């Protein structure tokens, strides 16, 4: 008896397009071309004799029947992921290797959301400031920076643009203008202040005090040692607690991006679930939830 189920690849493509409203976003998730996604969708609609999507110049939306079908398929894929994760061979954690500050200040605060969506899956995070070690890590997933138009490895997926803005402790911000503050930077990104000054048409300041990582530079800024330059996403909690103050309203693009790499090539199911969650998390732009708020 012939299998009466539509091709799994077509169903997965349809669900991702319904979720994202974008053929290009679905193609990036599946690491295929946009025409390949379009072909899968056309074949699926032809096979089902049912229009599943409404297409316009800038957006794709599911029809009423398509929305119901996408919801049911999403639940089915979630059950498949859970069943796969329960297999003995899938029990080990998803291993992630990334730059120290990105891992500590962006990824780890969001991991509880991954665990809530994927019961039974664990994430093991290691950090490094060595780009070569990250790109060649014995890990399921690695995250490193590279220029926007130069992927650091075949099949790498672009995650986020690196943004820069200055921050300092409130007491220091009240006492001195930014031009008078000691500048703090990290060894891995020693030129960020120069980029900031150039973007604002300012003369270069004194050479910054350089720390091993941006995390250490942020801590030094909180202690009143000077102004740190970093991504606003890295100091969300400190800004909320008023342990740091933003010194300029805008953040400038540094020119490079964070990229997701699969060092081993094809991801095992648990790692693929993490990758898909990570891409959704980046796209949502939501700040991490915090269990308690300071009084």
Each residue's pLDDT tens digit, 131-175:
666 666 678 899 989 998 888 888 889 999 999 999 999 999 999
* CATH of range 91-158+257-284; options 3.40.190.10, 3.90.1200.10, 3.30.70.1230, 3.20.20.60: 3.40.190.10
- Where does 155-231 have alpha helices with state H? 170-175, 192-199, 214-222
pLDDT at 136: 67
Helix (H, G, I), strand (E, B) or coil at 158: strand
Q: Does domain 8-85 have CATH number 1.10.10.10?
A: yes
| One fold for 8-85 and 91-158+257-284 | no
DSSP letter assigned to residue 189: B
CATH architecture designation of domain 162-254: 3-Layer(aba) Sandwich (3.40)
Domain ranges of the chain: 8-85, 91-158+257-284, 162-254
Helix (H, G, I), strand (E, B) or coil at 261: strand
* Global pTM value: 0.67
Alpha-carbon distance 273 to 93, whole Å?
12
pLDDT digits (tens, 9 = 90+) for 247-288: 998 899 999 999 998 876 667 788 888 999 999 999 887 777
DSSP letter assigned to residue 225: S
Confidence grade of residue 89 (pLDDT, cut at 50, 70, 90): low
CA distances from 86 to 12, 111, 122, 128, 167 (A): 21, 19, 12, 30, 45
Strands 94-99 and 209-211: unpaired
The pair of three-digit structure tokens given for residue 199, joined into one six-digit string: 């973007």
Alpha-carbon distance 211 to 55, whole Å?
51
pLDDT at 164: 96
Under a CB-based contact definition with an 8 Å cutoff, are residues 281 and 157 in contact?
no
Is residue 104 scored above 90 in pLDDT? yes
pLDDT at 20: 85
Q: What is the dihedral of CA 37, 38, 43, 44, to 10 degrees?
A: 70
* Average pLDDT score over residue span 2-7: 76
- Lowest-pLDDT range of 76-85, 109-118, 204-213, 273-282: 76-85
Alpha-carbon distance 220 to 62, whole Å?
50
């Amino acid at each position: 008896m012939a299998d009466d189920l539509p091709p799994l690849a077509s169903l997965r493509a349809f669900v991702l397009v319904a979720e994202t409203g974008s053929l290009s976003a679905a193609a990036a998730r599946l690491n295929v071309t946009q025409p390949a996604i379009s072909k899968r969708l056309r074949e699926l609609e032809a096979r089902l004799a049912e229009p599943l999507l409404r297409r316009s110049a800038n957006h794709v939306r599911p029809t009423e029947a398509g929305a119901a079908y996408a919801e049911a398929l999403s639940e089915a894929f979630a059950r498949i992921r859970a069943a796969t994760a329960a297999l003995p061979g899938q029990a080990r954690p998803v291993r992630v290797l990334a730059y120290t500050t990105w891992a500590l200040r962006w990824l780890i605060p969001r991991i509880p959301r991954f665990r809530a969506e994927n019961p039974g899956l664990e994430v093991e995070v290691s950090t490094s400031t060595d780009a070569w070690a990250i790109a060649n890590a014995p890990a399921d997933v690695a995250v490193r920076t590279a220029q926007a138009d130069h992927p650091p490895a075949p099949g790498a997926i672009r995650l986020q643009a690196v943004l820069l803005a200055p921050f300092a402790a409130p007491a220091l911000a009240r006492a001195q203008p930014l031009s008078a503050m000691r500048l703090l930077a990290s060894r891995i990104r020693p030129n960020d202040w120069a980029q900031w000054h150039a973007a604002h048409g300012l003369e270069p300041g004194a050479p910054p005090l350089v720390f091993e990582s941006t995390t250490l530079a942020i801590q030094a800024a909180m202690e009143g040692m000077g102004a740190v330059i970093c991504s606003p996403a890295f100091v969300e909690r400190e800004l909320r607690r008023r342990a740091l103050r933003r010194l300029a309203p805008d953040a400038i693009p540094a020119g490079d991006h964070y990229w997701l790499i699969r060092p081993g090539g094809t991801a095992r199911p648990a790692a693929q679930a993490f990758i898909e969650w990570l891409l959704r998390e980046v796209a949502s732009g939501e700040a991490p939830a915090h269990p308690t708020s300071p009084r």
